[in-house]
Chain A
Amino acid sequence: MTQFALVIDLNVCVGCHACVTNCKQWNTGGEAGPLADLNPYGKDPNGTFFNRILSYEVGTFPNTETWYLPKSCLHCEDPPCVPVCPTGASYKRKSDGIVLVDYDKCIGCKYCSWACPYGVREFDEERKVMTKCTLCVDRLYDTSLPESRRKPACVLACPAGARIFGDIHDPDSEVSRRIREEGGFQLMPELGTRPANHYLPRSKTVLPIDEAQVVRAENPLRHDEAPHATGLQPIEEEMG
């Protein structure tokens, strides 16, 4: 069974909001109608977004690190938002595991968003229905798009390539391999929702080098030090 998901590499994400912008652009122009923009040029602009980047400060100033967390619907394998819906508007597709809202059935009672621990559902104040990330389901199967473009808008927009899209149930897919090899994790796994989206943790690439390795003090030949020390040109073998 297919379970589409996003895998987000926190090592690569720089919090540039390109994914947020492209998500809004694509989904506000979609068949389901525009995403609300309330007071867009006023003092307190706000509106519907399917994807947001949260910034956290880890540590105590000045010894801190900034941690970006791009967050959209995690398309849980056991989504708490689905069984609570009284109308069946909130559902999970069996064919590809995408959690969707049928905007024509939603009565706007907001109960699904109470059940979601991640705060990824947003009630659209203009359409008066609950909305959320669709994984750009309207792109994934659109045969008029070239195959390489049949991906969520956020994935296509990410300039750093931090977002990877694929089937986490296929053990040979890139997403599965990277979750496996790079320690991919889920948000609040203890709640038992089994989010499909995973994050790849930050890992610093540091090569510990001892001074002795640089100056080669232990090298009995002390081969490369001699010419520089005396200002002589290195010989041809040394240029190698």
Chain B
Amino acid sequence: MRPAFSVLFLTTLIGAAQGAAIILYALFLAKGSGPDAPLAFYLTTGGVSLLLLAAGLVASFFHLGHPERAWRAVTCWRTSWLSREVIVLPLFGFAELLWLLLLWQGDWRAAAAWGSVMAFLAIALYVCTGMIYAAVKVLREWAHPITVVNYLLMGVASGALLTAGIAEGLAPAVAPMLAKAALWLTLIALVGRGVSLWRNARIPPYSTARAIGVHHQRIRQISQGSMGGNYNMREYFHGQPPEVVRAVLIAALGAGFLAPVVLLLLGVPALLVFLLQYGGLLAERWYFFAEARHPQNLYYQVV
């Protein structure tokens, strides 16, 4: 698959936004049992989370041929995970905004109750995003529950790191705790991604024989009957040599998971580590697309 940059930005930005909201709510629930964080910290982190969500939403519009018709995408929620994502994304945004307003008003009891709705919607949004990919049966690299789990794990790790970074400036008392959480969540996310990499390396390729109905060992496409490429060649081949793909994977694992863990242990400011990890997660998402081999490619081997 060719990685679509609008989708790379959408999934990484909203992943961090949801993760930050979940971590904030967890911190809010832990109030009393540990060091407390000031209201300004909650409002700032929540505001940043909403900004990331909005930025992701804007990025997603660049993926559409007809963005002015995007409202239609809410209609098929019964069958389409994409439609469900389009519904849950703004719901989560409104829930988070309302939660921040409740905190601002100082209504702690209402915030505790409503926060659970917000956290549920944040997790539901991870499920919707992950299922958009996991529901495409023909892309076997994606069609597995681990895809959904990974979207959740990577998003929460990224959001935790963002929260820790803001806490270092606004709530130093809770910052070490959040940094520790981000470190462990990043390690767990690495395990999840490792499992899917291991699984994907063992998926046998589709066979040309099945695709064109010839029972022969040696089949080679020689033409698709046109003088130039087409949509199916543009959309499903990333066009990068294997060295580049491998370099992106190394960058993804290094910047997205290993370096953040080491840098957090060394005490580097978490906000810087977050930016590095965000770059790594973008590379991870690029590789996620590039590693998916679409069976339609058997029909489009050469022009």
Contacts and interface: CB of A to CB of B under 8 A. Distances in A.
Contacts of A56: 208, 212, 214, 219-222
B210 A128 contact: no
Contacts of A188: 206, 210-211, 295
A161 B227 CA distance: 26
A115 B229 contact: no
B296 A118 contact: yes
A187 B76 contact: no
Nearest to A63: B218
B75 A86 contact: yes
Interface stretch (B88-96, B129-137, B196-204): B129-137
B217 to A, nearest CB: 9
Nearest to B227: A45
A109 B213 contact: no
Contact of A58 (B135, B206, B216, B295): B216
A197 to B, nearest CB: 12
Contacts of A89: 72
A89 B79 CA distance: 13
Contact of B137 (A15, A128, A187, A191): A191
Nearest to A198: B213
B79 A107 contact: no
A20 B227 CA distance: 13
Interface stretch (B62-70, B172-180, B251-259, B275-283): B62-70
A45 B228 contact: yes
A86 B73 contact: yes
A176 interface: no
A165 interface: no
A224 to B, nearest CB: 43
A192 B300 CA distance: 22
B69 A88 contact: no
Given A44-B228, A86-B75, A111-B82, A67 B138 contact: no
Interface string A107-128: 1111101111111001101011
A33 interface: no
Interface of B: 1, 63-67, 69-70, 72-76, 79-83, 86, 132, 135-139, 206, 208, 210-214, 216, 218-232, 235-236, 294-297, 299-300
Given A87-B75, A107-B72, A123-B231, 19 more contacts: A17-B225, A45-B228, A46-B228, A53-B224, A57-B219, A82-B79, A84-B82, A86-B83, A105-B72, A107-B66, A107-B69, A110-B65, A115-B137, A115-B138, A118-B296, A125-B231, A187-B211, A187-B213, A188-B211
Interface of A: 15, 17, 20, 39, 44-49, 52-60, 66-67, 69, 71, 80, 82-89, 105-111, 113-119, 122-123, 125, 127-129, 185, 187-188, 190-191, 199, 201
